[in-house]
Chains A and B, each alone.
Chain A
């Protein structure tokens, strides 16, 4: 018990002292996940609009599939990306295996269904009368989409933040395709997993606290958005 307590105290000291290793790992985690989130958002915002505003056969089924993929296992995505990008794989020529780039690719695959699904449901939750009103006031298809996004902005933003939250907290994918290389692809979650198995609880705890702090900030942000 005293051992655990001492580890906790050391962890807090590491954070307060802005320990270079801790800060570097946390910064890399944030950078990789933020990049994945921005790329996923750039895919999901227009794609969500296309799916929501058009009628086509199989739309309901497509949305069901997207929602099913919310809980895509991270190791499954890891395996998929690994097979694609390993040196023998079809995309092996890019030579990005075990680099932050491939981690971003994996995270984009992982969070796209979640972001897309939440964006579509935020758009569906807006009153049908909003789109009718916009169209009747002379909005073109694009202008109507923009005003609908504006009306659904809190729900859409919540979807984007949820995507980021899933990206920064996953471990299986980063471990498999990133390789947990110190100073290069080591992120908060992979570091925690490694340090814990090594028995180096101080660093693991410090990183764990930072991760929980990030989760807390995201949650507070979400709550404030939903209260508007």
Chain B
């Protein structure tokens, strides 16, 4: 058994009769950055609280650096003093910014000189040197988050837990916090476990992603694995694969299969045999729209009529009926160029390699 820094074995947590965490076994290696993604209420925060030893699991074991920390109050305090946690809605103590940052150090009985030196470098790290003597309660949301991060980093934790570090923050503060996090991940090699519902943030910062839905850890893997080859439809939905089409493999030619989706045949790459019931997953951004059928290398071209158009930020989402419902996204500019309107007929094209095929279990 390789020595992971943190390991959980079948941990569960219940609040009353409600199962919040269901049998999660997870390993986090030294220096690793793991992002937990999942919808709100999936159990991400509870899992972080269990890992940070703020809560004890209803069952299962947690190991930190080889020690079982599920039992024993003293051992838990010892282990906890090697970690720190930035809550989703961080609170600051009613004292100055620098006193806030010094708290964890004073509780560890660090020398006065060490405390002031570490406080200063933590303030510098988050770019808030000028705020040292301000009362922390007077700070804005973004500033409070930065102070909370500095306070968590001042103790030089071996593991940093972050719960939605940029939720409810403006884009400028978000960018600044991600910059700080990228720095500590890159320079200080701190092990980081963060919960986020922002997929792209997970992709930017983490080396590995764990997907939690409804208290279960459904899949862990590299960001690329999670986003391109989700292992089930719930993960697929979460990572924004807009098209999840049920069908049956009808034909096979080497790796290339034809999937019968309600009468239309979608060509894809799969190892499943003829007759296998599958889901064809297609990312909306992998589908292109055209007014005329053109000869491209893409294997799948379907004619359909537009049923719905709605703008999303800089993009436009277009829903088609082409034998099956198909969701695509185009830029505002191409929507204008193609003169897209509800009822218009267009051609949708995507490559066989853009289709991710998942075996259906239910």
Binding site for B on A (CB under 8 A): 127, 129-130, 132-140, 143, 147, 150-151
Closest Cβ of chain A: how far from B106's Cβ, in Å?
8
Q: Which residues of A contact B87 (CB under 8 A)?
A: 129, 132-133, 136
A138 contacts B91, C-beta separation under 8 Å: no
Binds A, one of B76-84, B254-262, B290-298, B337-345: B76-84
* In contact, B54 and A136 (Cβ under 8 angstroms): yes
18 contacts between A and B (CB under 8 A): A129-B87, A129-B90, A132-B54, A132-B85, A132-B87, A133-B90, A133-B93, A134-B103, A136-B54, A136-B85, A136-B161, A137-B84, A137-B103, A137-B104, A137-B151, A138-B77, A138-B107, A151-B93
> Is B81 touching A138 in the complex (CB atoms < 8 A)?
yes
Which of A127, A135, A143, A150 is within 8 Å of B91, CB to CB? A127
B164 near A: Cβ within 8 Å? no
Return the 5 tightest CB-CB contacts between A and B, nearest first.
A136-B85, A137-B104, A138-B81, A129-B91, A139-B107
Give the interface centre of A127, A134, A138, A147 by most chain B CB atoms within 10 Å: A138
B193 close to chain A: CB less than 8 A: no
User: What chain B residues lie within 8 Å of A147 (beta carbons)?
Assistant: 93, 103
Does B94 lie at the interface of the complex (its beta carbon under 8 Å from any beta carbon of A)?
Answer: yes
Tell me which residues from 68 to 127 in chain B have a Cβ below 8 Å from any Cβ of chain A: 77, 80-81, 83-85, 87, 89-91, 93-95, 103-104, 107-108
Interchain CB contact under 8 A, A130 and B103: no
Which chain A residues border B91 with CB–CB below 8 Å? Answer: 127, 129-130, 133
Cβ contacts under 8 Å, A150 to chain B: 93-95
Q: Which residue of B lies closest to A140 (CB)?
A: B77
Q: Which residue of B lies closest to A153 (CB)?
A: B94
Instruction: Provide the residues of chain B in CB contact with A151, threshold 8 Å.
Output: 93-94
- A138 neighbours in B (Cβ, 8 Å): 77, 80-81, 84, 104, 107-108, 155
Supplied contacts A129-B90, A133-B148, A136-B87, 19 more A-B pairs, CB within 8 Å? A130-B91, A132-B54, A132-B85, A133-B87, A133-B90, A133-B91, A134-B103, A136-B80, A136-B83, A136-B85, A137-B84, A137-B103, A138-B80, A138-B104, A140-B107, A143-B107, A147-B93, A147-B103, A150-B95
Measured CB to CB, the closest approach of chain A to B77, in angstroms, equals: 6
Among residues of A, the one whose C-beta sits closest to the C-beta of B148 is A133
Minimum C-beta distance from B307 to chain A (A):
46
Complex Cα–Cα for A202 and B344 (A): 100
Q: What are the residues of chain A within 8 A of B7 when measuring CB–CB?
A: none
How many residues on B have C-beta within 8 angstroms of the other chain's C-beta atoms?
A: 24
Q: Say whether B277 faces chain A, with CB atoms less than 8 Å apart.
A: no
**Residues of chain A with a CB closer than 8 A to B148's CB:** 133
Whole-angstrom CA separation of A127 from B90 in the bound complex: 11
Do B54 and A137 touch across chains, with their CB atoms under 8 A apart?
Answer: no
Give chain A residues whose Cβ lies under 8 Å from the Cβ of B319: none
Among A127, A129, A133, A135, point to the contact of B80 (Cβ < 8 A): A135
Assembly CA distance A147 to B92 (angstroms):
11
Most buried by A among B103, B148, B151: B103
Instruction: With CB as the reference atom, state the residue of chain A lying closest to B106.
Output: A143
B152 within 8 A of A: yes
Chain A residue with the shortest CB-CB distance to B151: A137
Contacts of B161 in A (CB 8 A): 136
Nearest CB of A to B146, in Å? 15
List of B residues within 8 angstroms of A132 by Cβ = 54, 85, 87
Q: What 1/0 flags go to B144-168 for Cβ under 8 Å of A?
A: 0000100110010000010000000
- Kindly list chain B residues whose C-beta atoms are within 8 Å of the C-beta of A134: 103
B54 touches A135 (CB 8 A): yes
With both beta carbons as reference points, the residue of chain B lying nearest to A136 in the complex is identified as B85
A140 neighbours in B (Cβ, 8 Å):
77, 107
User: A150 to B357, alpha carbons, bound, how many Å?
Assistant: 58
CB-CB nearest in chain B for A138:
B81
Kindly provide the distance from the CB of B76 to the nearest chain A CB, expressed in whole angstroms: 10
Residue of A nearest to B92 (CB): A133
Complex Cα spacing A134 to B93, Å: 9
Chain A residues near B81: list those with CB within 8 A: 138
For A143, the chain B residues whose CB sits under 8 A away are 107
Q: What are the residues of chain A within 8 A of B52 when measuring CB–CB?
A: 136
Residues of B160-197 contacting chain A, CB below 8 A: 161
User: In the complex, what residues of B have CB within 8 A of residue A137's CB?
Assistant: 84, 103-104, 107, 151-152, 155
* Chain B residues with CB below 8 A from A139, complex form: 103, 107
Task: Report the bound CA distance from A150 to B84 in whole Å.
Answer: 22
Is B84 a contact of A136 with CB atoms below 8 Å? yes
B108 to chain A, nearest CB (A): 6
Shortest beta-carbon distance, B208 to chain A, in Å?
Answer: 23
Chain B residues whose C-beta falls within 8 Å of the C-beta of A127 in the assembled complex: 91
Question: Which residues of B are found within 8 Å of A135, using beta-carbon distances?
Answer: 54, 80
In whole angstroms, how far apart are the Cα atoms of A140 and B148 in the complex? 19
How far apart are B115's CB and chain A's nearest CB, in angstroms? 13
